[in-house]
Chain A
């Protein structure tokens, strides 16, 4: 109990510090507010230009959803959440390395991997607030938010789907501890996840082997369940295959991620890499 209380203090410290730093570099907020709508507009534009006047009809036939704007806004919200989650730990570590504060965290008794994960909370708070502010009105206006229970269910699916991403994020963090500059690998992983999750199209547009591959991504299942719940108005049983897969990934990926992070971390302590940047 005392241990938990002590860790909670460290968590509070990280939270307050990151919020302050974010608020003192305030420009990112505009990007967050504008992005879901801008991207949704972008995809609608591309769609119309390719498919012409029959675009909406085609879209409804392919996706089973009649409102493309809603479809894309939900997709973009998830895209933003995925991007932030995948890159946040790696980029936080990177910026601490450059500041020279990375190594100092190893002088404190709290486990460092936990500290890095705690960085997600301040960043997620801001992201969730902004995303809810942008997507909730659209969802409410379109009448899809029929019951608050459905909405809560959707939120928990989302949270469950983020856990495996955390595992991938830790594995990326391990690479930063080892190779320092995370940009290229992080973007690559982000692109693969976004391409194969089907945020903006049903995966049936790809050959079968691509959809098979996409099954290892948690986000594929998340978006599929959310569409059933929010856009198609179908119920999803707790024993749904997609939900069970998600649960398995939510255990497996964090374990792998944590293992690889701790391995590289002790390797870094052996090689004297903690102070390098």
Chain B
């Protein structure tokens, strides 16, 4: 079978309560997934990119058999995630959160050993594999300390090691670098690329567009439970077009900046990011319809709106521009 993962029309609705006070609550229906379909080829790194609440974790949980879909179907390694759940479990390694999910009073090695036994690995094979993965993630020197003494970075490495224990051909990584310091995040990204070199298929989620661009062969952009585009990062960016994006650094950006400029001709979208709230300093990101011929008009409109321009650059589009282009919404700070 060519495809490692296939999802067809996955739908998931949660019913929750909004707590208004101790005794009063209002029922609420959350449509986490509204028909998510995609497929992941063997040996590729596939990214689900989307803002918080888009449905990334929900998708990963359905694919890893932890959650039952309301509608739709999915196959992992050729096995059906509902009907052949235990076969699916044998061929996936999953990392859901890196700061929880350990036994504090056991060492890193003992934690791994426990999960190896849960995976029913024979003892000798388990010990050998534990040493291998500890070495791979760079924890061999801290393996025999209690996990309660581990730093966040060490825990995330241990979490990665656990996902690799039974040497699964397919990996699901939910926000693998979230909350990590830059060095640990870089290490985790290197590990993900190493997994690809070993021939594994990786499905990861992230809300960090740079990470998606850096790691992924293909990216699915997901928003509000729907996939809005799937392609390679460079193809996705081609949609916005080269030479169409201008970044203007300015002072005194009002909250209404985008509206003030919305009537200018030739401008398709505009969004702002405030860097320093005290002086309202930040960037305006301008996406033009077709080339930047109308830049002069836009700059005078910016001045008229009371902003002071510090610098103007034509830049490469990013995946965030693509996201905004496709959804009209911001991806959020990453």
Contact = CB atoms under 8 A, between A and B. Distances in A.
A158 to B, nearest CB: 29
Interface in B56-105: 58, 61, 64-68, 86, 89-90, 92, 94, 96-97, 100-105
Contacts of B141: none
Interface stretch (B107-115, B223-231, B259-267, B271-279): B107-115
A238 interface: no
**Main secondary structure on A side of the interface with B:** helix
B118 to A, nearest CB: 4
A17 B58 CA distance: 31
Interface centre among A99, A101, A108, A266 (most CB of B within 10 A): A108
Given A7-B120, A10-B118, A17 B102 contact: no
Contacts of B114: 13-14, 16-17
Contact of B68 (A12, A266, A275): A266
Interface in A1-32: 6-7, 9-10, 12-14, 16-17, 20-21, 24-25
Contact of B67 (A6, A9, A269): A269
Given A269-B67, A269-B68, A21 B106 contact: yes
Interface residues of B, number: 36
A20 B105 contact: yes
Contacts of B182: none
A275 B66 contact: yes
B83 to A, nearest CB: 13
A101 B159 CA distance: 11
Contact of A25 (B14, B101, B102, B105): B105
A272 B117 contact: no
A100 interface: yes
Contacts of B106: 17, 20-21
What interface size band does chain A fall in?
Answer: 20 to 34
Given A20-B105, A100-B102, A275-B96, 18 more contacts: A6-B120, A9-B122, A14-B114, A14-B117, A25-B105, A99-B100, A100-B100, A104-B115, A107-B64, A107-B65, A108-B115, A109-B90, A110-B120, A266-B68, A270-B67, A271-B15, A272-B67, A274-B66
